[in-house]
Amino acid sequence: MNSVRLTCANKPYTGEKWLLKRTRKGLVLLDEDENVMSSIPAGEAGLRISFPSFWASRVNLVVTIRSGEEFQFEPRKKEIGQVRTLVEDCSEADPEATAAAYRSKATRDLLIGTGSFVLGVIVTCGSFFLAAPNGKFVVMGGLLGVGLFEIVRGIYFAIKASEHSRLAEADQENDSDEDEDNDKQWA
């Protein structure tokens, strides 16, 4: 399977049949008239394609293009499985690029999370120490919560990056072992 037909769910494309196609370099999203709407490098497929969530916070399959625009597609079970297979195939095809993309996302999330959390702690402590005795002070629960959430998400993506780095290293070791075997065979 090298392509999946998807039914567009966002206006003005509602109901159109688009094609998500596997290429040598990654994935290409084509509209109904076969115009390229987005090119997704293999290493970025796992980050640029979002699947419907269990909690229904995301109900459609979403493909994010470089400009940040999102194209949404109806979440049909068969197509979701096929898209998952395409994304996994892209990740396996270029584990180094996938690891780099996940590492970049992890770094961003960890920086934002740490900054939010530290700012929340500073403001909360500052308002506590500046409050009159038995007075009111502000707890920055939102900043603290967002900070913790982003830190956990950053750790998740760091683990994913580590997994793909190990896959890339294993691929390189296998390639070097095959090269040594070929050298022995020709000697």
Tell whether the model's pLDDT for residue 180 goes beyond 60: no
Question: Within a 13 Å sphere around the CA of 13, how many CA atoms are in the beta-carbon half?
Answer: 18
Sign of the CA dihedral running 147, 149, 151, 154: negative
142: Cβ contacts below 8 Å, ≥ 6 apart = 120
Instruction: Give the pLDDT score at 47.
Output: 92
Give yes or no for a contact between 161 and 103, defined as CB atoms under 8 angstroms apart: yes
Tell whether the model's pLDDT for residue 181 goes beyond 70: no
Task: Tell me which H or E stretch contains 5.
Answer: strand 3-7
> What are 124-139's pLDDT values in tens digits?
999 999 998 888 999 9
User: If you average pLDDT over residues 40-55, what whole number do you get?
Assistant: 90
Task: Tell me which H or E stretch contains 20.
Answer: strand 17-22
Give yes or no for a contact between 36 and 27, defined as CB atoms under 8 angstroms apart: no
Closest to 48 (Cα-Cα) out of 87, 78, 22, 80? 87
Tell whether the model's pLDDT for residue 168 goes beyond 90: no
pTM: 0.75
Helical residues (DSSP H) of 21-94, grouped into ranges: 45-48, 77-93
Instruction: Give the pLDDT score at 54.
Output: 81
Band of residue 172 on the pLDDT scale cut at 50, 70, 90: confident
Q: Dihedral, CA atoms, 84, 89, 94, 95, nearest 10 degrees?
A: 60
What does the DSSP 8-state code read for residue 98? H
Here the contacts of 30-38 (C-beta below 8 Å, separation 24 or greater) are 37/65, 37/71, 38/63, 38/65, 38/66, 38/71
User: If you average pLDDT over residues 92-98, what whole number do you get?
Assistant: 89
CA distances from 25 to 17, 60, 100, 161 (A): 23, 25, 16, 20
> What percentage of the chain carries pLDDT values higher than 90?
72
Tell whether the model's pLDDT for residue 184 goes beyond 70: no
Tell whether the model's pLDDT for residue 187 goes beyond 70: no
Instruction: Give the pLDDT score at 179.
Output: 54
Among the ranges given (37-41, 89-93, 181-185), the one the predictor scored with the smallest mean pLDDT? 181-185
